[in-house]
Amino acid sequence: MISWLEDIKWNDAGLVPAIAQDAETGENLMVAWMNREALAETAELGVAVYFSRSRQKMWRKGEQSGHQQRVVEMRLDCDSDVILLKVEQKGGIACHTGRRNCFYKIFRDGEWVEVDPVLKDPKEIYRK
């Protein structure tokens, strides 16, 4: 067992939220979940590894799209229940929708409005 993993307050499902932030600009790119294995692998390999709740398995960011996240720095918040990954986003696309980041909707006049462009069609990114 890796002792530094014990410092984290994991939720009841054994997960912790992780924010991926552009190391150079500070832009928030995405939020995902990590289990112990994903966080340990991220620390070991220096690339972001998450746990997909929908697929119930490890998700190595960029394994299909090529949009890998090289981890520059890992931080733990004051409550020890959120991870911040400062990353170098390969390919300039972090979101599965083909956008730079996952925060492309803004609340305006009582509704969510998409404000950031699709940089690449997801059908071109995720060919099976």
Spell out the domain ranges in the chain.
Answer: 3-95
Which pLDDT score, from 0 to 100, does residue 49 have? 98
Q: CB burial class (10 A; 0-12, 13-18, 19+) of residue 128?
A: exposed
- Please tell me the CATH superfamily of domain 3-95, with its number: Phosphoribosyl-AMP cyclohydrolase (3.10.20.810)
Rg of the chain, C-alpha, whole Å: 15
126 has a pLDDT exceeding 90: no
Question: Residue 1: which pLDDT band, with cuts at 50, 70 and 90?
Answer: low
117 has a pLDDT exceeding 80: yes
| pTM for the full predicted model | 0.91
How far apart CA 109 and CA 112 sit, in angstroms, is: 8
pLDDT tens for each residue of 47-85: 999 999 999 999 999 888 889 999 999 999 999 999 999
